[in-house]
């Protein structure tokens, strides 16, 4: 078995605006005077079932435990509740507190809820009692809620306060604001009479106070009484902020230093310190210095008696220039009679980032005999004058020639626009796929060699391209069952399978990304790009949440992105509490992304879908839930509870949680309620989609078909823009965090510039609040330096994200990722686990002596431990494939260094046997650690970091990924000892997989024995932590209708397995009457990777 099992981990959701009730031990105070108020609210009612929430407010002495009782007026029953322990006898119901919500101080409240059924009339109960004492009217008398109760009103201006009611009134309530004795200049200018109804009682209404101009210098005061009949009035104390005070007049400048990106702008603001008696003109004049820095707007500002305190913006622009100096220039802010202020403007030069060079893509082209192929050339940086670039054919097959573009001219304006060079292959009579190098050169620059290979039409068909077509057709054949009726790739054809998804007809963003890549390869081979575009369209329709699916994003506050919730080590440590005392850092991306795309919505894939709705969370919808009214293809989530939570301990729950089934959020966060949506992004999948789009662009451009995919490529660039959230710490804490009180990030200080395990976002279904988090854990298997290159300033313009700082972020990420590989590379060559900014998931201090990477602590098994996350060789093959492609596309020296060592190790661990047999690494163990801390410079070798292969494998999916890695490396390394060894090993693996075709009509597969399926009948074991843990007192139902409570098991909440055709073999194994079951699985990602391995080898080595 390959350790794909349980490899995904979703984000533990934490929110920035949740009402949470504290918990405490249960005890009863002696002679407590019990007084209470109960509010009963129906959440939904479909005629036979309903849900309700009950808010208990303690109006008496403090309680340390409570028991709420009521009597149903009708035949209501079948309660499945949360946040309390429920029992019912006849019409009498008792709800008793749980361990965390028993303590209720005077005035404190807690909310519980349940789903129940009935027939006939569903009349609300009214006779509630706490600890045997009647609670009175269940519709509480409202009170006035006024905020603030002290306001400062600028003379000649206004100030406001808000008024609402504490609860819904029985009838309309009129609230008046009346001025008392005091400064007569202070008056009510608007909102003197407000009306609250049962519909708008909790909506703030505004009262406006005005302060008239006067000639005194006294800050007068006046009380205002907010009142309503029968309610306790509230006094608002207003103070006039007099503008006749002795505050000396001066210029107030927001910043005296501003950085201006070359080709862009920077700003500062100016206001007056005091109200003037007349208009004041302020000038902003550039002094001696870098003349590319100029005041582009705001050179002359006018302040009046009314706008004097409002900051006005001055914009400084930095023109593009050809130097590499960060020039400076002073800007003098001045006004007659006032002391001037100097602002120092500094140009952030963009010419120092990228040295001049030739950018050529691709550097290896196949030219069909009798036809043409193209490659593109542009400059890496803006030149100071015209640059001529030539393409000259070298020695080799003379039928290959440069037919157009042999001499290209680049100017200061078109330097970054790719220009095409067309190669032609003349018809000849031989059957040889000849090659010829083409040298791309320009005076003073390093030349680039493009290797052109003639694809001879006298040759027999390329057998590997034929194998790609055969495998592709099997994947797309509807009879084989790889795709759902909606056109969505399933995780596997087979339904009984437990790994990251716990059912074969779920699917992942991983599968979508492999599908997009597969269709790019199809376009490469056929020139037909319609399937590629369609794959992205289906992805956008089903796995990228729509605007309606993420309501309330406008409420997101980047300055307070989420409340902190520590991660537990075991599922039994959950639910965990939220803490508002741990300060999260600032989110620096939200405002930029909103400015770029015009909204707050996130454009990224959620990681898991229940395609066939096997959990039935879509079934029974009577209307749209988070914008979705379908009965299938439901967003779900599983992993939420720490590093020891394997698939066997998960609880599948809806991402859009309306409360129709249970209060699932309360399993993870103490005191949580339903009515939430939550999505988790798997960054490696989004990066893979970008990677696929890059190759699609290269191949389509070579065919002259790039215009056919331009819209899809732009969407990939947008996805890459949002993918930057994965660079950030979970709570935007700065790197090197070793306690919850460590420094919160500001700006981009909390970015690690690595692809972490997830980013997540969520909020209130009603739109009242929303949150976003990154991840503190970074795994080598998720890095994608090719995607970083593609999205950076050296990548294709068509794939460059639109946000102003995105390309620079990805440039930094590219170098950071490559250094990360080198820092983690073992003495043998394999890449060790990763690094974390939150030890134990709660910002603990790591063990003394733990080496760090830019402050992140080395972690041999980041994110999950059951099984260890870096045990599986698949993460090596997937991750290093991206490094190999970067090496192939760019010749990057660090990529070559990483690959030279890794390829030598991997090939040494590979056996090509007789017939179709082969073995590759399967499971690995690790000893030692990186040799030291790293935060820049040259990465040191790791003589004491070691890997051992403890189990080999013949997993075809991993073998295909591994073969692709070797293929790209060999294509770049060329005729070297290691390059030839890599090519021979890749070919050997592919040839053996071709032999396996005879065993199966739907793909290329090998049987797997699943000894881990003994865990199907696990029961929770508190001493080992194995088995499904559900907290005592939790109850509800799964979407299938089966109950979920503390007695539930993995199987009991998944009844669909027992009717699966594969179940008898598992049942026999569990009962002891049969061996561990053996299955032949057709995983979509694996079968797609096999097809692409054939396409890659056939295209890069057309001669075989």
**H or E element, residue 1027:** none
Which tokens in the block code for residue 551?
């309501």
Determine how β-strand 364-368 pairs with β-strand 448-455: parallel
Determine how β-strand 234-241 pairs with β-strand 150-154: parallel
d(CA 827, CA 249): 68
* DSSP single-letter state for residue 831: B
- C-beta separation of 9 from 757 below 8 A: yes
Residue 778: what are its φ and ψ, rounded to 5°?
-125, 120
d(CA 1030, CA 164): 40
**H or E element, residue 126:** none
Place of tokens 């542009």: 378
Give Cβ neighbours of residue 650 (< 8 Å, ≥ 6 apart). 502, 638, 639, 640, 641, 1028
DSSP string, 286-349: E-SS-TTEEEEE-SEEEE-TTTTTS-EEEEEEE---S-----EEEEEEE-TTS--EEEEEEEE-
Is 510 annotated in the active site? yes
Is 45 annotated in the active site? no
SS3 462: coil
Would you give the distance in Å from CA 1093 to the centre of its chain? Answer: 29
The number of C-alpha atoms within 13 Å of 34 and in the hemisphere containing its C-beta is 21
Strand partners, 1044: 1036
d(CA 790, CA 784): 10
* Residue in 262, 456, 510, 1096 annotated catalytic: 510
Find the DSSP H helices in 779-934. 785-791, 806-824, 874-890, 893-908
Which tokens in the block code for residue 40?
């009963």
Give Cβ neighbours of residue 563 (< 8 Å, ≥ 6 apart). 14, 15, 16, 18, 578, 579, 580, 584, 771
Closest by Cα among 224, 269, 217 to 247: 217
Strand partners, 109: 57
Closest by Cα among 747, 741, 737, 816 to 783: 816
Question: In the chain, count of helices (H) and strands (E)?
Answer: 14, 55
- C-beta separation of 638 from 10 below 8 A: yes
Q: Label residue 1038 exposed, middle or buried (CB < 10 Å: 0-12, 13-18, 19+).
A: buried
* Maximum Cα–Cα distance across the chain: 108
33, 177, 600, 1052 from 1066: Cα distances, Å: 59, 73, 47, 15
* Secondary-structure breakdown of the chain: helix, strand, coil percentages, each rounded to the nearest 5: 25, 30, 50
Give Cβ neighbours of residue 69 (< 8 Å, ≥ 6 apart). 92, 93, 94, 95, 128, 129, 132
Neighbours of 682 (CB within 10 A): 28
d(CA 965, CA 886): 11
d(CA 1026, CA 1018): 7
- C-beta separation of 783 from 879 below 8 A: yes
* Residue in 321, 397, 587, 684 annotated catalytic: 684
* DSSP single-letter state for residue 856: E
List active site positions.
510, 684
């Amino acid at each position: 078995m390959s350790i794909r099992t349980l490899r995904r981990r979703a984000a533990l959701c934490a929110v920035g605006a949740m009402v949470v009730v504290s918990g405490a031990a249960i005890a009863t105070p002696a002679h407590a005077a019990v007084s209470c108020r109960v509010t009963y609210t129906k959440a939904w009612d479909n005629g036979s079932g309903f849900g309700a929430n009950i808010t208990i407010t303690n109006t008496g002495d403090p309680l340390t435990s409570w028991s709420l009782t009521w009597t149903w007026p009708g035949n209501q029953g079948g309660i499945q509740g949360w946040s309390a322990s429920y029992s019912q006898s006849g019409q009498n119901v008792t709800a008793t507190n749980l361990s965390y919500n028993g303590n209720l101080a005077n005035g404190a409240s807690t909310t519980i809820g349940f789903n129940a059924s009935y027939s006939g009339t569903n009349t609300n109960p009214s006779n509630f009692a706490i600890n045997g004492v009647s609670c009175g009217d269940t519709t509480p008398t409202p009170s006035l809620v006024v905020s603030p109760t002290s306001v400062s009103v600028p003379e000649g201006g206004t100030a406001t306060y808000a008024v609402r009611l504490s609860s819904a009134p029985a009838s309309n309530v009129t609230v008046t604001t009346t001025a008392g004795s005091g400064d007569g200049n202070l008056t009510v200018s608007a909102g003197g009479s407000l009306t609250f109804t049962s519909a708008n009682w909790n909506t703030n209404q505004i009262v406006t106070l005005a302060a008239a101009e006067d000639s005194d210098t006294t800050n007068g005061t006046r009380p205002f009484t907010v009142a309503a009949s029968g309610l306790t009035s509230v006094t608002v104390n207003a103070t006039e902020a007099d503008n006749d005070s002795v505050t000396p007049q001066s210029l107030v400048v927001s910043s005296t230093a501003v950085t201006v990106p070359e080709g862009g702008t920077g700003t500062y603001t100016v206001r007056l310190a005091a109200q003037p008696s007349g208009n004041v003109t302020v000038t902003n004049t550039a002094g001696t210095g870098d003349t590319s820095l100029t005041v582009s707007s705001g050179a002359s500002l006018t302040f009046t008696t009314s706008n004097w305190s409002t900051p006005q913006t001055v914009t400084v622009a930095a023109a593009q220039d050809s130097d590499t100096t960060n020039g400076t220039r002073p800007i003098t802010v001045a006004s007659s009679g006032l002391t001037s202020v100097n602002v120092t403007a500094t140009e952030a030069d963009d010419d120092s980032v990228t040295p001049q060079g030739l950018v050529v893509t691709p550097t290896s082209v196949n030219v069909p005999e009798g036809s043409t192929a193209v490659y593109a050339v542009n400059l890496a940086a803006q030149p100071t004058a015209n640059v001529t670039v030539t393409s000259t054919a070298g020695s080799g097959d003379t039928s290959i020639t440069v037919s157009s573009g042999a001499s290209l001219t680049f100017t200061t304006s078109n330097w970054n626009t790719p220009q095409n060079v067309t190669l032609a292959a003349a018809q000849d009579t031989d059957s040889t796929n000849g090659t010829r190098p083409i040298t791309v050169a320009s005076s003073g620059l390093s030349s680039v060699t493009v290797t052109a290979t003639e694809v001879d039409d006298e040759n027999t068909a390329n057998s590997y391209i034929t194998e790609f077509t055969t495998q592709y057709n099997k994947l797309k054949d509807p009879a084989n069952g790889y795709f759902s009726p909606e056109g969505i790739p399933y995780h596997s054809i087979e339904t009984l399978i437990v790994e990251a998804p716990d059912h074969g007809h779920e699917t992942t963003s991983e599968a979508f990304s492999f599908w997009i890549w597969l269709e790019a390869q199809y376009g490469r081979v056929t020139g037909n790009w319609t399937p590629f575009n369609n794959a992205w369209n289906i992805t956008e329709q089903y796995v990228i949440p729509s605007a309606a699916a993420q309501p309330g994003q406008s409420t997101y506050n980047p300055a307070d992105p989420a409340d902190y919730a520590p991660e537990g080590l075991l599922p039994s440590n959950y639910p965990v509490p939220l803490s508002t005392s741990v300060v999260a850092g600032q989110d620096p991306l939200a405002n930029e992304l909103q400015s770029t795309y015009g909204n707050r919505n996130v454009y990224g894939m959620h990681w898991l879908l229940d395609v066939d709705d096997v959990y039935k969370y879509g079934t029974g919808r009577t209307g749209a839930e988070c914008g979705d009214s379908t009965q299938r293809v439901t967003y779900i989530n599983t992993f939420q509870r720490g590093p020891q939570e394997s698939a066997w301990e998960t609880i599948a729950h809806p991402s859009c949680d309306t409360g129709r089934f249970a209060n699932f959020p309360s399993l993870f966060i103490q005191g949580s309620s339903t009515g939430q949506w939550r999505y988790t992004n798997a960054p490696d999948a989004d990066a893979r989609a970008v990677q696929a789009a890059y190759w699609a662009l290269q191949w389509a451009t070579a065919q002259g078909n790039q215009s056919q995919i331009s819209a899809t490529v732009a969407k990939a660039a947008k996805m890459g823009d949002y993918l930057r959230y994965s660079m950030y710490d979970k709570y935007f804490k700065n790197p090197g965090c070793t306690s919850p009180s460590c420094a919160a990030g500001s700006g981009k200080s909390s970015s690690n510039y690595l692809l972490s395990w997830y980013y997540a976002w969520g909020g209130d279904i009603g739109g009242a609040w929303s949150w976003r988090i990154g991840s503190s854990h970074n795994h080598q298997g998720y890095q994608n330096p090719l995607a970083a290159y593609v999205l950076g300033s050296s990548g294709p313009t068509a794939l460059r994200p639109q946000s102003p700082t995105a390309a620079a972020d990805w440039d930094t990420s590219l170098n950071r990722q490559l250094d990360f590989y080198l820092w983690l590379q073992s003495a043998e060559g394999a890449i060790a686990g990763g690094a974390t900014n939150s030890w134990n998931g709660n910002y603990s201090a790591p063990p003394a002596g733990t080496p760090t990477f830019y402050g992140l602590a080395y972690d041999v098994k980041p994110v999950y431990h059951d099984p260890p996350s870096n045990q599986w060789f698949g993460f090596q093959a997937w991750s290093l494939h991206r490094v190999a492609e970067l090496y192939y596309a760019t010749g990057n020296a660090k990529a070559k260094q990483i690959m030279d060592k890794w390829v030598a190790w991997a090939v040494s661990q590979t056996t090509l046997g007789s017939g179709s047999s082969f073995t590759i690494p399967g499971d690995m163990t690790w000893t030692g650690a990186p040799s030291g801390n790293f935060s820049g410079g040259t990465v040191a070798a790791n003589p004491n970091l070691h890997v051992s292969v403890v189990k080999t494998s013949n997993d075809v999916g991993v073998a295909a990924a591994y073969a692709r890695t070797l293929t790209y490396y060999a294509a770049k390394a060329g005729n070297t000892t290691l390059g030839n060894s890599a090519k021979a090993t890749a070919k050997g693996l592919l040839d053996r997989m071709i032999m396996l075709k005879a065993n199966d009509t739907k793909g290329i597969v090998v049987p797997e024995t699943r000894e881990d399926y003994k865990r199907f009948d696990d029961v929770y074991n508190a001493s080992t932590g194995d088995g499904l843990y559900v907290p005592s007192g939790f109850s509800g139902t799964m979407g299938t209708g089966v109950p979920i409570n503390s007695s539930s098991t993995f199987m009991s909440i998944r009844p669909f397995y027992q009717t699966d055709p594969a179940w008898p073999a598992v049942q026999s194994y569990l009962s002891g009457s049969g061996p561990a079951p053996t299955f032949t699985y057709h995983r979509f990602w694996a079968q797609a990777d096999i097809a692409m391995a054939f396409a890659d080898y056939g295209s890069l080595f057309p001669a075989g």
